[in-house]
Chain A
């Protein structure tokens, strides 16, 4: 309990307690010594004065004793009235019997028996008892007894005690005041140091310095603390720099990690793409082989069927309408099968084009002839006579346009308009656009502009111009450099192609049709590219699609020859 309070107490209180305790103990010891000294010296002087009176009385009493005159003796004793402290006096005779007695006034008749004679003095609790022999001519004739009370001694002791207490009190007060005043010199620096330490500790401000007051231990402490602060500040500064560096390093590491992650992601993506590509190529190679053998195996029976049908058509000239229709159906389906097989085989292997100059109009006319365009579809061809011839394999290109026209017709099951147009495209414009790395966009702008000029109802082209951001384009590259081109466009007013399908448009095996294996456009692209051209597609879902086939013009071929 005490220890806890002590431990908790502030240093100035501790100092105060220690000081007061020290002062108190000192004073107590001093006063005690003083009082003991006073006590004994006063008692001695008491004994001395009593002895002196006893001597005097003994001298005067010897005669009455000798003369056996107790009255005289009593008279002599009465003289003791002058000494107020003597309360009882007795003169004993030779035998020890009481010869005369004196009792101080006011004292009750002392009923206590007179003490037995003995030599010397002794103290009791309240009195000093003194016996003195009475001699006459060297012969002992009696004894005198004096009893003094100790009132004087007691009052003196009381006085001394009160003075000591008062002195102690005053000294305490003075000491407290002085300590309060003076202890600041010691506690001040301590408190200041403590405050500084607390501030440094709480604020982590190592730039602070403690106040150094004097050269004493506190001063040394403050100085040492300041030195420590100095060192701490220095190490703190280093630490901060190090931390900053570490942070920077960490940041750098993090950044590098991020880059690494990105790179890893990218590489993983590439790897995956490469793998996919590999798998795709493998699949396609297998597909190619399969296509070859399937095509081969199917073409033979198809050939027989075709021959048989031809024979029947030739022989059965006067059959009913129904039979004729059935024969037509068979013929139509044989053609369908043939087209699928041709696509398959063309996809598996593109033949080297047997190119020659041919008019775009002728190509388109041949292609249309091979297609069954229903009456619900309005077909318009806009091919200027002045166009240069194109250089291409007619069979291959007819196959391409047949495919595109068939697709266009199929995109308009409810009917619509099919527009086949051709125009010249200067190689300059293509070159410029490819240097911009946006060949399709620029080529499309050219095309859009032309469409706008040519025909007022070509909203498709115009809207492309207005909202180039919404353009959906897909293209193929393999243009002959420095060539003028003829662009033949097949444009339908069908449902259009959604953006996600647009991306996959030229992928093999992609189809949205219920029937078909999804090789038509792949083959178209392959064939067109083999002929030194390319196919551009633009589509607006709900408005229609334009497939634009660019083929090298003959003019460029003539230039090449020159």
Chain B
């Protein structure tokens, strides 16, 4: 994967920061430390981070305030909060304002490491469409946003592709030349029941029955061409977020099973 994943560890307890950073470094991450919320914001501004692990209770601005500010500055940056004893209101508030989750100290280090290992992994998208133009433009858009994108126009090879490497999400056109996208969806769901699949189609009117059927057997959602790219990005971000939060032990409802 080339570059090391950069993690910013923020806590007013220096020993906590040190131990956490040491573990991360031993595990092959690049760890940076900050001891206040302000310092954390400064470091987030100055350098691209892949993830922030931050305590809630700190002198100066709290972890929750810092999360809100980070979301404004770097919308996609995953922030995981840590707390010795956060109230539910605090946790809800933090989640609403962009924190992935609130972990209770002592932190399950293994779980955090698993989560971090997913940061890069949960970045891959498979586009299944027989329109090369569509594939190309989408690929460019998502690669620009740091995603790893592959495309496939042969419905028969979709499962092979999924077998070859992990994909966060599949973007599936319902009309693949002569083949039906719905059949492909059925195949995917049979083998990967929890794989999120986003259906796209240019023929909203004609395909209503297929769309309904697709949603019924577990497609995550359906979008219409021409695609609203921002909307698609948001959907994929959400899916990624859900996946990542699952790794952190967060319960998910309606994750598209």
A304 near B84: Cβ-Cβ < 8 Å: no
Instruction: List the A residue with the shortest CB-CB distance to B105.
Output: A303
Given A299-B85, A311-B22: A306 touches B15 (CB 8 Å cut-off): no
Q: Which of A348-356, A457-465, A512-520 contacts B (4 or more CB under 8 A)?
A: A348-356
Interface size grouping (class) on chain B: 20 to 34
Instruction: List the A residue with the shortest CB-CB distance to B249.
Output: A395
CB-CB under 8 A from A349, the residues of chain B are 87
B106 near A305: Cβ-Cβ < 8 Å: yes
B105 near A302: Cβ-Cβ < 8 Å: yes
A304 near B15: Cβ-Cβ < 8 Å: yes
For window 327-362 of A, CB contacts with B under 8 Å fall at 334, 338, 345, 349, 351-352, 354, 356
A352 near B88: Cβ-Cβ < 8 Å: yes
For window 108-145 of B, CB contacts with A under 8 Å fall at 109-110
Pick the residue among A296, A299, A395 that contacts B106 (CB under 8 A).
A299
Interface centre among A296, A297, A351 (most CB of B within 10 A): A296
Interface centre among B26, B57, B106, B107 (most CB of A within 10 A): B106
Taking the closest CB of chain A, its distance from the CB of B154, in whole angstroms, is 38
| A interface footprint on B88-101 (CB within 8 Å = 1, 0 otherwise) | 10000000000000
Instruction: List the A residue with the shortest CB-CB distance to B12.
Output: A300
B84 near A303: Cβ-Cβ < 8 Å: yes
B107 near A307: Cβ-Cβ < 8 Å: yes
B16 near A304: Cβ-Cβ < 8 Å: yes
B26 near A303: Cβ-Cβ < 8 Å: no
Asked if A496 is at the interface of the complex by the 8 Å CB criterion, the answer is no
Asked if A142 is at the interface of the complex by the 8 Å CB criterion, the answer is no
Taking the closest CB of chain A, its distance from the CB of B117, in whole angstroms, is 15
A310 near B16: Cβ-Cβ < 8 Å: no
Asked if A161 is at the interface of the complex by the 8 Å CB criterion, the answer is no
CB-CB under 8 A from A300, the residues of chain B are 13, 16, 84, 105
Q: How far is the CA of A297 from the CA of B105 in the complex (A)?
A: 11
B84 near A296: Cβ-Cβ < 8 Å: yes
B85 near A303: Cβ-Cβ < 8 Å: no
Asked if A314 is at the interface of the complex by the 8 Å CB criterion, the answer is yes
A310 near B23: Cβ-Cβ < 8 Å: yes
A302 near B26: Cβ-Cβ < 8 Å: no
Instruction: List the A residue with the shortest CB-CB distance to B107.
Output: A303
Q: How far is the CA of A297 from the CA of B16 in the complex (A)?
A: 13
Interface size grouping (class) on chain A: 20 to 34
Taking the closest CB of chain B, its distance from the CB of A74, in whole angstroms, is 182
CB-CB under 8 A from B23, the residues of chain A are 307, 310-311, 314
CB-CB under 8 A from B82, the residues of chain A are 303
B107 near A311: Cβ-Cβ < 8 Å: no
| A interface footprint on B44-81 (CB within 8 Å = 1, 0 otherwise) | 00000000000001000000000000000000000000
Q: How far is the CA of A351 from the CA of B19 in the complex (A)?
A: 30
Q: How far is the CA of A311 from the CA of B31 in the complex (A)?
A: 14
Q: Looking at chain A's contact residues, is the secondary structure mostly helix, strand, loop, or mixed? A: helix
Taking the closest CB of chain A, its distance from the CB of B131, in whole angstroms, is 39
Taking the closest CB of chain B, its distance from the CB of A187, in whole angstroms, is 112
B19 near A302: Cβ-Cβ < 8 Å: no
Taking the closest CB of chain B, its distance from the CB of A534, in whole angstroms, is 23
Instruction: List the B residue with the shortest CB-CB distance to A310.
Output: B109
Taking the closest CB of chain B, its distance from the CB of A390, in whole angstroms, is 15
CB-CB under 8 A from A393, the residues of chain B are 251
CB-CB under 8 A from B19, the residues of chain A are 304, 307-308, 310-311
A307 near B253: Cβ-Cβ < 8 Å: no
Asked if A64 is at the interface of the complex by the 8 Å CB criterion, the answer is no
Interface centre among A311, A338, A345 (most CB of B within 10 A): A311
Taking the closest CB of chain B, its distance from the CB of A4, in whole angstroms, is 109
Asked if A315 is at the interface of the complex by the 8 Å CB criterion, the answer is yes
Q: How far is the CA of A529 from the CA of B234 in the complex (A)?
A: 39
Q: How far is the CA of A354 from the CA of B253 in the complex (A)?
A: 10
CB-CB under 8 A from A308, the residues of chain B are 15, 19
Taking the closest CB of chain B, its distance from the CB of A557, in whole angstroms, is 13
Given A310-B23, A351-B88: A303 touches B253 (CB 8 Å cut-off): no
Asked if A295 is at the interface of the complex by the 8 Å CB criterion, the answer is yes
Taking the closest CB of chain B, its distance from the CB of A309, in whole angstroms, is 9
Instruction: List the B residue with the shortest CB-CB distance to A351.
Output: B88
Interface centre among A295, A306, A307, A352 (most CB of B within 10 A): A307
Asked if A292 is at the interface of the complex by the 8 Å CB criterion, the answer is yes
| B interface footprint on A157-184 (CB within 8 Å = 1, 0 otherwise) | 0000000000000000000000000000
Instruction: List the A residue with the shortest CB-CB distance to B110.
Output: A310
For window 261-310 of A, CB contacts with B under 8 Å fall at 292, 295-297, 299-300, 302-308, 310
A354 near B251: Cβ-Cβ < 8 Å: yes
For window 237-257 of B, CB contacts with A under 8 Å fall at 249, 251, 253
B85 near A292: Cβ-Cβ < 8 Å: yes
Q: How far is the CA of A28 from the CA of B57 in the complex (A)?
A: 143
CB-CB under 8 A from B107, the residues of chain A are 303, 306-307
Interface centre among B15, B85, B88 (most CB of A within 10 A): B85
Given A314-B23, A314-B27: A307 touches B106 (CB 8 Å cut-off): yes
Q: How far is the CA of A395 from the CA of B22 in the complex (A)?
A: 29
Pick the residue among B106, B109, B253 that contacts A338 (CB under 8 A).
B106
B15 near A295: Cβ-Cβ < 8 Å: no
Pick the residue among B13, B26, B110 that contacts A315 (CB under 8 A).
B26
Asked if B20 is at the interface of the complex by the 8 Å CB criterion, the answer is yes
For window 1-59 of B, CB contacts with A under 8 Å fall at 13, 15-16, 19-20, 22-23, 26-27, 57
Q: How far is the CA of A310 from the CA of B26 in the complex (A)?
A: 11
Q: How far is the CA of A118 from the CA of B80 in the complex (A)?
A: 185
Taking the closest CB of chain A, its distance from the CB of B27, in whole angstroms, is 7
Q: How far is the CA of A292 from the CA of B85 in the complex (A)?
A: 7
Query: What are the 5 A-B residue pairs with the smallest beta carbon separation, nearest first?
Result: A307-B19, A303-B105, A306-B106, A299-B84, A303-B106
Residues of chain A at the chain B interface (Cβ within 8 Å): 292, 295-297, 299-300, 302-308, 310-311, 314-315, 334, 338, 345, 349, 351-352, 354, 356, 393-395
Residues of chain B at the chain A interface (Cβ within 8 Å): 13, 15-16, 19-20, 22-23, 26-27, 57, 82, 84-85, 87-88, 104-107, 109-110, 249, 251, 253
- In addition to A304-B16, A307-B23, A314-B27, 5 A-B residue pairs with Cβ atoms within 8 Å of each other are A296-B57, A306-B106, A310-B23, A311-B22, A351-B88
Q: What are 27 A-B interface contacts by the 8 Å CB criterion?
A: A295-B85, A296-B85, A299-B104, A300-B16, A300-B84, A303-B16, A303-B82, A303-B84, A303-B107, A304-B13, A305-B106, A306-B109, A307-B106, A307-B107, A307-B109, A308-B19, A310-B19, A310-B23, A310-B109, A310-B110, A314-B26, A334-B106, A349-B87, A351-B88, A352-B88, A394-B251, A395-B249
